[in-house]
Structure 1
Amino acid sequence: MYVFTTRFVIENKSEVTFISHDEDGDWQFMSDDKSEEEDARIISLEEMIAHDSSILELADLPLGYQAERPDKFSKWTIFKSE
């Protein structure tokens, strides 16, 4: 399985602070960094978990939901996508 993220998360090791499980089944793992289209990266889910295993807390996040947190050590806040 492949997921969407940014160069900031993978290359700069920024913390994942936002996760989206889109209605179409896609997963997005983002940081607080302001990103542009050219910053997008597609990686394997295994690579994403190796980068930040705390995302496994949201493995059962339903389609159409998102989660955010201020930093890696905070709890996730889960909400339905608009």
Structure 2
Amino acid sequence: MKKQFTEDLNTAVFTTKYILEKVSPILYVFHYEDDGAWQFSGEEENIDDKDYKVISLEEIIDIDNSILEVADLPLQHMAYRSSINEPWKIKKID
């Protein structure tokens, strides 16, 4: 059985324009403790605030449903992988 996010599919999440434009794959998933926010980013570096976008959880799943593998990511943790063909690794956010 596939994992599912406990949040509603209309929940706002953060990503980058590079993910939305399919220039970068989703390689990093962050689940922040202070507000429970989710962030999805890729191989882009040195990005500005204007490069971040807010979309729904459903939209980010539609972009790459392999993120469902980390839908149970605990608060204050991140999941990362070196490519979309690699398994997710999980670690606590310092």
TM more than 0.5: yes
Q: CA RMSD in A?
A: 0.8
Separation (CA, whole Å) in 2 of partners of 1:52 and 1:12: 10
- Same amino acid, percent of matched pairs: 43
State how many pairs are aligned.
82
Deviation at 1:14, TM superposition (A): 1.4
Larger Rg over CA atoms: 2
Select 2:41's aligned residue among 11, 30, 34. Answer: 30
Q: Unaligned 5+ residue runs, structure 2? A: 1-10
**Structure-2 separation of matches of 1:59 and 1:38:** 26
Task: Describe the SS at the equivalent of 2:68.
Answer: helix
Give 1:52's match in structure 2, choosing from 58, 61, 64. 64
Q: Which moved more, 1:9-18 or 1:69-78?
A: 9-18
Q: What does 1:1-82 align with in structure 2 at a 5 Å threshold? A: 1-23=11-33, 24-34=35-45, 35-82=47-94
**What SS does the aligned partner of 1:57 have?**
helix
Structure 1 unaligned blocks of 5 or more: none
TM value normalised by structure 1: 0.95
Residue deviations 1:22-74 (CA, integer Å, cap 9, x gap): 00200000011122111000000000000000000001000000011011110
Distance in 2, matches of 1:39 and 1:53, equals 22
More strand by share: 1
Moved over 2 A (4+): none
